[in-house]
Amino acid sequence: MFDIIIIGAGPAGLTSALYALRANKKILILEAKAYGGQIINANKIENYPGIQEISGFDFATNLYNQVKKLGGEIRYEPVIKIEQDKTVITNKNKYHTKAIIIATGVENRKLNISNEQKYIGKGISYCATCDGNFYKDKIVAVYGGGNTALEDAIYLSDIAKTVYLLHRRDQFRGENKYIEELKQKNNVKFILNSTIIAINGNLTIDSITIKNDFEEKNIPIDGLFIAIGQMPNNRIFTNVVDLDEFGYIKTTNDVYTKTKGIYAVGDTRVKILRQLTTAVSDGSLAASVAIKELENN
């Protein structure tokens, strides 16, 4: 029997683990893929108080090592269900616990067009900092209009021969400072009011077909970086939590779900701001209230 099971090993989940371990609680962290969550893909973090600049990988690894040093255990088993009695079922085991913290984060949003799945890892990537070096002196496209797309294009402009930045609207949603920086790049080409309607190739991508109000055309590329946002994957928890129309977990007083002893933290819950600072804030709060409730029972 565990005191607390934490589902997800991103910043929110690892922070929860850190606080719980320091309170001498028996915990287990369950993670479907790898520690770090979305932040591990960030090239630079410059808005975390007290740290002028750090890579997402280094931040996540430092936090992971803190948890491991305190004896935290991470098992890489996707969770498939939470039962009402707080039994957590993975693809391998069943675990019993007194409290659960859901910190599953979000997934990259897909284009949902033909061949997208086929070319993931064969020309399609959702992480420029992970895969950008595969496209040194090659031609790539970035699709999206927010800060992630703009930052990806900046990063890739120092690696690739040409970067096409495509967006379905006539204006970007990201910060103006990134847009101005991109305008100074000779190898970045803006394509607005356009959508990708086809991904073409054989074993790997060789082009994309885009469409605007006037025409369809093919653009030869070697790689496509998709940056159109994220979405939660919380449907498996609907027997113990309520979701909003977009699939985010509804909470009260920041981290409480509708089920006593089950909390939701980080990007996976309904919130105004999804940032690293708010993720670790959620994680510390959820662990603290869980610890208090465990000790009062």
Instruction: Kindly give, in sequence order, each residue whose CB lies less than 8 Å from that of residue 168, ignoring residues fewer than 6 positions away.
Output: 145, 193, 194, 195
From the CB of residue 206, how many other CB atoms can be counted at a distance below 10 Å?
A: 14
Look over the chain and give the mean of its residue pLDDT values, rounded to a whole number. 95
Q: What is the distance between the alpha carbons of residues 52 and 47, in angstroms, rounded to a whole number? A: 7
Catalytic member of 58, 127, 242, 254: 127
Cβ atoms 67, 21 nearer than 8 A: yes
Has 130 been annotated as catalytic?
yes
Would you say residue 47 has pLDDT above 80?
yes
Residue 289 has pLDDT above 80, yes or no: yes
* Residue 42 banded pLDDT, cuts 50, 70, 90: confident
Per residue in 137-160, pLDDT (tens digit) is 999 999 999 999 999 999 999 999
Q: Do domains 2-106+232-296 and 124-226 have the same CATH topology?
A: yes
Domain spans in the chain, listed from the N-terminal domain onward: 2-106+232-296, 124-226
Distance separating alpha carbons of residues 191 and 170, to the nearest angstrom: 9
The larger pLDDT score, comparing residue 47 to residue 21, is at 21
Of 3, 85, 130, 206, which one is the catalytic site residue?
130
Coil, strand or helix at 254:
coil
pLDDT digits (tens, 9 = 90+) for 256-282: 999 999 999 999 999 998 889 999 999
Q: How far apart are CA 87 and CA 84, in angstroms?
A: 7
Contact 154, 182 (CB under 8 A): yes
pLDDT given for residue 21 in this prediction:
98
Is 282 catalytic? The answer is no
Average pLDDT over residues 38-58: 87
Q: Which percentage of the chain shows pLDDT scores above 70?
A: 100
Reply yes or no on whether the pLDDT at 32 is more than 80.
Answer: yes
User: If pLDDT is split at 50, 70 and 90, which confidence band does 172 have?
Assistant: very high
Question: What pLDDT, on a 0 to 100 scale, did the predictor assign at position 186?
Answer: 97
pLDDT surpassing 90 at residue 43 = no
Domain 2-106+232-296: CATH superfamily is: FAD/NAD(P)-binding domain (3.50.50.60)
**Are 4 and 272 in contact, with CB atoms under 8 Å apart?**
no
| From the candidate CATH numbers 3.10.450.750, 3.40.830.10, 3.40.50.1950, 3.50.50.60, the one assigned to the domain spanning 124-226 | 3.50.50.60
Q: Which of 131, 152, 222, 267 is catalytic?
A: 131
pLDDT score recorded for residue 129: 80
- Can you give the pLDDT at residue 175? 93
